């Protein structure tokens, strides 16, 4: 089986990266992680990649002369590694339009809310402030506007009495770690494709297909 060659972009902790690395260990997983790039050289996620024997590029965006120049460096590193598909996993920097265009329909992101609700930062704090009862996480194709793009899969997560930002974030993060490998499998196996801005599930008439689920009891 030829596996999709995936590059992962991170900025920090890298727990979603770790979930992808773990999933990709399975012989039948249709993707392999061949490069991890961080825009912060000290990102803890880089150590997770190194521990798994995956090549890393520890870049520092502060040393680049512009966003475009930095993104060109990333693009060159991805191409040099033979990367075919990019996963953003806690990459906390806005991408240049040129980079988004170069990886159009070949780049996905995970967001800790049920898009299109709560794009941007501090999602859990905002959900709690609004009294939301259900939140979750979303894996979507990347488009130029931050946290937009065709939605591949979502997981619903309840808000429970007594939740604070930390407890809710932890519950959503546990769902992210299930959802992201699940969504990448759908894409890498060809079960999900995107035409224009419309997601198609192979062999399934139902838009929800297998891609809406709640990992919580």
Active site residues: 111
Q: Which residue's CB is nearer to ligand GRF, number 25 or number 79?
A: 25
Q: Can you give the three-state secondary structure of the chain, one letter per residue?
A: CCCEEEEEEECCCCHHHHHHHHHHCCCCCCEEEEEEEECCCCCHHHHHHHHCCCCEEECCHHHCCCHHHHHHHHHHHHHHCCCCEEEECCCCCCCCHHHHHHCCCCEEEEECCCCCCCCCCCHHHHHHHHCCCEEEEEEEECCCCCCCCCEEEEEEEECCCCCCHHHHHHHHHHHHHHHHHHHHHHHHCCCEEEECCEEEECCCCCCCCCCEECCCC
Is 176 one of the binding residues for ligand GRF (CB under 6 A)? yes
- Among all residues, whose Cβ is closest to ligand GRF? 90
Is 14 one of the binding residues for ligand GRF (CB under 6 A)? yes
Residues near ligand GRF (CB under 6 A), total:
15
Q: From 97-105, 110-118, 153-161, 208-216, give the range in contact with ligand GRF by CB under 6 A.
A: 110-118
Is 16 one of the binding residues for ligand GRF (CB under 6 A)? yes
Q: Which residue's CB is nearer to ligand GRF, number 121 or number 204?
A: 121
Residues 77-106 as x/- pattern, contact with ligand GRF by CB under 6 A: ------------xx----------------
Is 15 one of the binding residues for ligand GRF (CB under 6 A)? yes
Is 181 one of the binding residues for ligand GRF (CB under 6 A)? no
How far apart (Å, rounded) are the C-alpha atoms in residues 164 and 176? Answer: 18
Please identify which residue in 7, 112, 149, 150 interacts with ligand GRF, judged by CB under 6 A. 112
How far apart (Å, rounded) are the C-alpha atoms in residues 124 and 170? Answer: 10
Q: Which residue's CB is nearer to ligand GRF, number 51 or number 202?
A: 51
**Binders of ligand GRF in range 146-175 (CB under 6 A):** 173
Min. distance of Cβ 129 from ligand GRF in angstroms?
18
How far apart (Å, rounded) are the C-alpha atoms in residues 67 and 74? Answer: 11
Q: Which residues bind ligand GRF (CB under 6 A)?
A: 10, 12-17, 45, 89-90, 110-112, 173, 176
């Amino acid at each position: 089986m030829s596996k999709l060659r995936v590059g992962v972009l991170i900025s920090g902790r890298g727990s979603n990266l770790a979930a992808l690395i773990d999933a990709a260990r399975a012989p039948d997983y249709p993707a392999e992680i061949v490069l991890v790039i961080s825009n912060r050289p000290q990102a803890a996620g880089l150590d997770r990649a190194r521990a798994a024997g995956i090549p890393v590029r520890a870049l520092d965006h502060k040393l680049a002369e512009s966003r475009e120049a930095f993104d060109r460096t990333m693009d060159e590193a991805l191409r040099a590694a033979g990367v075919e598909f990019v996963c953003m996993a806690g990459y906390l920097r806005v991408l240049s339009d040129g980079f988004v265009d170069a990886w159009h329909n070949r780049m996905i992101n995970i967001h800790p809310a049920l898009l299109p609700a709560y794009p941007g930062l501090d999602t859990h704090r905002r959900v709690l402030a609004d009294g939301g009862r259900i939140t979750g996480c979303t894996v979507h194709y990347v488009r130029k506007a931050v946290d937009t793009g065709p939605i591949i899969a979502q997981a619903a997560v309840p808000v429970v009495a007594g939740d604070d930002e930390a407890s809710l974030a932890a519950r959503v993060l546990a769902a992210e770690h299930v959802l992201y490998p699940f969504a990448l499998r759908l894409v890498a196996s060809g079960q999900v494709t995107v035409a224009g801005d419309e997601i198609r599930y192979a062999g399934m008439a139902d838009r929800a297909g297998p891609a809406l689920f709640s990992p919580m009891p």
